[in-house]
Amino acid sequence: MSYLWFSWCLVFATGARQLFNHMGLSAPKSRNIDNGIPKLQFFDLGSGGGRLVLQSHLELPSVCRSVGIELSPTRHEIAMRRMNKLVVSGTVDRIRELAYKSWGWETGSCSSSVIDLIEGDLFELDITKATHMYLLSLCFSESMLERIVDKIETEGFSLQIVASLRLLPLRKSGDRSEEKDTPDNLRVVRLGENPWMEFIEMSWTRGDGCPVYFYSVKKSNTKQGVDRRRIQ
Ligand SMILES: C[S@@+](CC[C@H](N)C(=O)[O-])C[C@H]1O[C@@H](n2cnc3c(N)ncnc32)[C@H](O)[C@@H]1O
């Protein structure tokens, strides 16, 4: 996949707001807040220049941690520079304070929220605390998506929603073609078999949007899955 394609294939501010809204991150919900402290964690796997991660931190009071992981050192460096510029100029504090006020919240708790921009391979990332995950999966191969589905279903203990630009290659229960496939009993959660679709503005669309698939995530009810969740 070319550098140009990766750099061009992005979600901008309007699309990001549509995405957050469809993921249920844009409105205050009491179940997402614990004693005045937000408890959602937004993860962008393959975060490029970090735009989406930064925007989730700036505009979503319900998110206490925004995480982006990016394999390319150059794009990671761009993301870090973007973040540092926003922090040093005071823009982060100013916008977050406005976002909190717009929800009618005290601004005191906004200081507890963090951004983690990580340079590395998404397959090495700890996703056990992620509640909402985004995959700009147009750039990922089918075999990579299969590995991502396995990772999500074996490690995504806290996940509620996964958004993906491509339909994900789900494994049905008992559907193991090869020994190396992950056994059902290691899956702690299951991606819903009926994702819903919304049109979201992307860098390459002109008002008509691009289809994005939203998967709700359910706890797996195999005994081993329940036991593994308990250990966590
Ligand atoms: C098109 S960009 C998405 C940018 C960002 N998510 C957005 O919406 O603005 C996809 C990114 O995934 C990254 N990527 C590909 N494989 C990866 C891996 N194994 N681990 C982490 N990042 C990866 C690429 O380097 C690329 O920057």
pLDDT averaged over the chain? 87
Angle of helix 51-59 relative to helix 91-102, nearest 10 degrees, comes to 50
- Residue 172 maps to a domain: yes
Please report the pLDDT score of residue 208 as a whole number: 86
Which residue has a Cα nearest atom 14 of ligand 1?
46
Per-residue confidence band for 29, with pLDDT thresholds at 50, 70 and 90: confident
Which residue has a Cα nearest atom 19 of ligand 1?
121
Give me the domain span that covers residue 180.
3-26+38-228
Residue located via tokens 């290691």: 186
pLDDT at 232 over 70: no
Ligand 1 pocket, mutate which of 118, 136, 147 (most atoms under 8 A from CB): 136
Q: Which residues line ligand 1 (CB under 6 A)?
A: 6, 9-11, 44, 46-48, 51-52, 69-72, 75, 121-122, 136, 139
DSSP 5-41: HHHH----HHHHHHHHHHTT-SS--GGGEETTEE-EE
Which residue has a Cα nearest atom 12 of ligand 1?
46
Which residue has a Cα nearest atom 24 of ligand 1?
46
**Interatomic CA distance for residues 70 and 134, integer angstroms:** 13
User: What is the rounded (10 degree) CA torsion for 24, 27, 31, 37?
Assistant: 120
Please report the pLDDT score of residue 102 as a whole number: 85
Q: What's phi and psi for 164, nearest 5 deg?
A: -145, 145
- Residue 224 maps to a domain: yes
**Interatomic CA distance for residues 64 and 159, integer angstroms:** 15
Provide mean pLDDT across the span 112-120. Answer: 93
Per-residue confidence band for 207, with pLDDT thresholds at 50, 70 and 90: confident
pLDDT at 42 over 60: yes
- Residue 186 maps to a domain: yes
Ligand 1 centroid distance, CA of 192 (Å): 24
Please report the pLDDT score of residue 188 as a whole number: 92
Task: Please report, for the domain that includes residue 71, its CATH number.
Answer: 3.40.50.150
Ligand 1 centroid distance, CA of 90 (Å): 28
Which residue has a Cα nearest atom 13 of ligand 1?
46
Provide mean pLDDT across the span 188-211. Answer: 91
Higher confidence at residue 4 or residue 130? 130
Provide mean pLDDT across the span 71-95. Answer: 96
**Interatomic CA distance for residues 188 and 108, integer angstroms:** 35
Interval 183-194: pLDDT, tens? 777 889 999 999
Please report the pLDDT score of residue 2 as a whole number: 53
- In the chain, the number of structural domains is 1
Please report the pLDDT score of residue 178 as a whole number: 55
DSSP the chain: --HHHHHH----HHHHHHHHHHTT-SS--GGGEETTEE-EEEEEES-TTSHHHHHHHHH-TTEEEEEEEES-HHHHHHHHHHHHHHHHTTHHHHHHHHHHHHTT--SGGGGG-EEEEEES-GGGS--TT-SEEEE-GGGS-HHHHHHHHHHHHHH-TT--EEEESS---PPPTT---STTSPPGGG-SEEE-SS-EEEEE--TT-SSS-EEEEEEEEEE--SHHHHHHHHH-
pLDDT at 223 over 70: no
Ligand 1 centroid distance, CA of 47 (Å): 5
- Residue 211 maps to a domain: yes
What is each CA distance from 76 to 39, 109, 183, 214, in whole angstroms?
Answer: 26, 28, 34, 26
- Residue 31 maps to a domain: no
pTM across the whole model = 0.89
Ligand 1 pocket, mutate which of 71, 76, 78, 80 (most atoms under 8 A from CB): 71
Please report the pLDDT score of residue 226 as a whole number: 59
Please report the pLDDT score of residue 206 as a whole number: 82
Ligand 1 centroid distance, CA of 209 (Å): 20
- Residue 32 maps to a domain: no
Interval 130-185: pLDDT, tens? 999 999 888 899 999 999 999 999 999 999 999 999 999 997 766 655 555 667 77
